[in-house]
Amino acid sequence: MIEKIFKKIYYEKYTKKSYSYSHVDLIVDKMFSNVKNGFYIDIGCNHPIKYNNTYILYKRGWRGINIDLDHTSIKEFNKIRKNDYNIQALVSSEDNIDKEIYYYHDRSAINTVSKSLINYRKSKDGDYTIKKQKTRTLNSIIESSKFKDEKINIISIDIEDHEYDALKNFNFKKYNVDCIIAEVHDYTNDKLEIYNHKINSIMNDSLYKLLIENNYKLINWVNADLIFVKEGLQI
């Protein structure tokens, strides 16, 4: 019994807990282990702890901007992650454009603006409601926040097949982000966000091409999460 207790203490001491869906947070936390007070932007943050890519960094002193479509999610962030800047917004390529949101329910991780994704899921009209909301660009959200002059170490983006639109007009030169974690969708697969993504599909994806064109390179790949770093990054 005592031996089991000591083993448990030992493994808890030397094993880090992951909070993200695919454990991608452990990879990024290790990459930036020497950065004590870093800064992140989490687009499609959903929950302040569960399946969250940035909570592990928040716990050790990092701060950032968390963005989600859902007011309920942002209320939770304001309770649990008070030192972050938390905002309800629909991030897209232009400001102040009306877009339809296919809204399943509060706190749903699959609310989306992508009709293609709705069709892939074979969702019926009764499965969701349609809400309209005006868009914000990531550039404008950063500039209106208290963190507008911060160096951005990481952007994590998971917004249900709207990632490319959210980043295509992002000012990569101005903000010079070190690392971008982005989700990709391959509709030729039977299931999304699992192990069967193909490298050829990823390399033909518009988001992949956008990041390569802006001097990022793919260094890791976990399920549907791709980890890119800026060419020449040393940490």
| Mean pLDDT, the chain, integer | 90
Distances from the Cα of 10 to the Cαs of 6, 13, 16, 29, in angstroms?
6, 5, 12, 21
- 50: CB partners within 8 A, 6+ apart: 19
User: What homologous superfamily is domain 18-93+138-230 in, according to CATH?
Assistant: Vaccinia Virus protein VP39 (3.40.50.150)
CA distance 107 to 68: 10
Shortest CA distance to 156 belongs to which of 71, 17, 29? 29
Q: What is the pTM of this model?
A: 0.90
Per residue in 152-171, pLDDT tens? 999 999 999 999 999 999 99
Tens digit of each residue's pLDDT (9 = 90 or more) over 116-138: 888 877 887 778 999 999 999 99
| Tens-digit pLDDT profile for residues 5-32 | 545 544 555 568 999 988 999 999 999 9
CA atoms within 13 A on the CB side of 118: 17
